[in-house]
Structure 1
Amino acid sequence: MNTPIVKSIWDQATGSWQYVFHDPETMKGAIVDPVLDFDPLAGATSTANAERLLDYVRETGIELVWILDTHPHADHFSAAAWLKQQTGAPTAIGEKVTGVQKLWQGIYNLPADFATDGSQWDQLWSDGDAFMVGKVPVKVMFSPGHTLASVTYVAGDAAFVHDTLMMPDSGSSRADFPGGDADALYDSISAILALPEETRLFVGHDYAPGREAQCEATVAEHRAANIHWKGAPSRTEYRAVRDARDATLPLPKLMLAALQVNIRGGQLPETESNGRSYLKVPLNYFQSR
C-alpha cells in the first residue's frame, strides 16, 4: 500500500485540521480543507493559515497538484480559492456540492444567476473516481450525512474523512445541518470503517476534550474504541445516539458567514458598487438552542 507523507496543521480558533499530503518519490502533493481566517467581530478575512500551508509546501519542495475540499464547511471559510491564486493548482470537491449550493441559495435568497453548477471549482468528483498524486493513488468515496455533498479522499493508506468521524474519544460528527442525515452518516461511517484496518484516518476537527488536539487514528482503533461505534451499533442505535447529541448542540459560530463563502469555492461574495463584499444573515431562519 502506498504511504503518503501527511502534514497536519491545526487551527485552534475553529478546531479545524488542514492537511498537506505528498508522494515522497515524486514530491507531488495536495492540500486538503485549507482554512481562510475570519474575524467575525471585525468582519475581516486573512490568510495566516493558508500561508502556513504554502510555506510548508515550498520549504518541503512539494509540487502542488490539487487543492481538495471535502465539503462546504460550516465552521470555517475555505482558503481554496486564495491558494489557487497563489499556486495555480486546480481545486476540486464532490459533485453533490450542487445540491448544497441550491439549498443555501434559497436560505440566503441569492439571485437566480448565482451559479449552482459547481463551476466555482475546477473539478467535481463522482463517487468512485480515482486520480494520482505522484505515485499515490487517490480514490473518492461519497460519504454524506454531515452534509449531502461530503466526500472522503483515500490516498494510499491515508483517508481524509472530514466531518464523518471525530477522534475515537469524541465519536462522530453531527448530522443536523440542512441536508444532513444520520442514516446517511451511518452508511458513510460503515464504508469508511470497512477500509483495511491499518488505514490512517485523518479527521476534519478535534475539540481536544481535556487533552492535546489530535487528528489521526487507524480504522482498527476506531472500530475498537470510537464511543459512537464500538460494539457495532445497529442503524437504529446509532441514530438514537446521534440525534440525541445533535439536539444539544448550538449552530457553529461561523456557519451563517462561512456557508455563503464556501458554496462559492472559497471566493468572497461579489463586490458591490463601493468595491466591498458583504455577508448576509437569514434572520429567524434557524431557531436558537
Structure 2
Amino acid sequence: MSAFSIPLRRLAPVCALAAAVLSGCVSPASRLQGDAWQAQLARWQGAPALLLGEQHDAPAHQQWQQQTVQWLAARGQLAALVLEMAEAGAATDGLAPQASAAQVRAALRWNDAAWPWPRYADVVMAAVAAGVPVRGGNLDAAGLRAAMQDETLDAHLPPAPLARQREAIEQGHCGLLPPARVQPLVRVQLARDARLARTVQQALQPGRTVVLVAGHGHVQRSLGVPTWLPADLRPKVAIAQAGRALAAIESEADFIQPTPALPPEDYCAGLRARWPVQR
C-alpha cells in the first residue's frame, strides 16, 4: 500500500464504470483516455520511463493504465510494466502471451488481500498478452522492517519535501499514529521508492518505455521515485486525479489525467473505530 493512500481501500467496484473495466471490453481509444493523453503519449515516444500515479480505489485510473499499456504495446514501444502491487523479484518473465490469469498471479506472487486482483487484472494481462514482462517493484516484509530502522534514509530528501512526506503519512493514517511511529513509516515510503526506481532502471531498453504503475505519492517529482533515478534519465510523470486536481499534485507531474469524481466516503471512520488515538 502506498503510504500516501488511506489505509482503508474500497473493495467493491464503483458504479457502472467498474463493470466496464472488469469486463476488459474498453478499447484503447475510449473517451476516458481522451485525445489529449493520446497526443501526449505520441510526443513522449521513446521516453525511457513513464511513471503513472493512481488513486488505488478509482477504477478509472486502472482503466487509464490499461489503455496506456495497450497503446505503447501496439506500437512496439513498451519495454516492461513495473508494479507497486507486487514485490521485487516477482515477475512474469518466461510466461507465454497466452498465460492464464492464474499463472500470472502465481508468477507475481499476488497478494489479493492487499491488492484485489480484479482491480489490476486488465492492465497486467494487457502487458502479458503483448509479450511484455511484468515485474514487481515493492519491498518484501523483511525489506519493510529493515527500512524502518534505516536512519540513512532520513537524509535523502531536502527538509521541505521530507516535511510533506511526514504530513502525508500522518494524514494517510487519519492522524492516529503516535509521533514516534511517523518517521519509520516515512523511511518505508522512501525505501519503497528506491526499490521501485531500481526495478525501473533494471528494465530499461533503448528506444522503449518502461511503465510504472503506483500510487500517486510514489511518482511525484520532488518526493518519490524520480528522486532516486539518475538525473539524466528524465522520466515522464503522469498522475490521474479523481475530480478536481490538487495544485500540489499538478506541480509534481508532466501531465494530469482527470477522471470522474468518486462518491464521498469517510475513509477514516472504520480506522478510528479500531484504533484508539495514540499519543
Same fold (TM over 0.5): no
The structure with the largest strand share of the pair is 1
TM-score, normalised by the number of residues in structure 1: 0.35
TM-score, normalised by the number of residues in structure 2: 0.36
Higher relative contact order (CA 8 A, sep 6+): 2
The structure with the largest helix share of the pair is 2
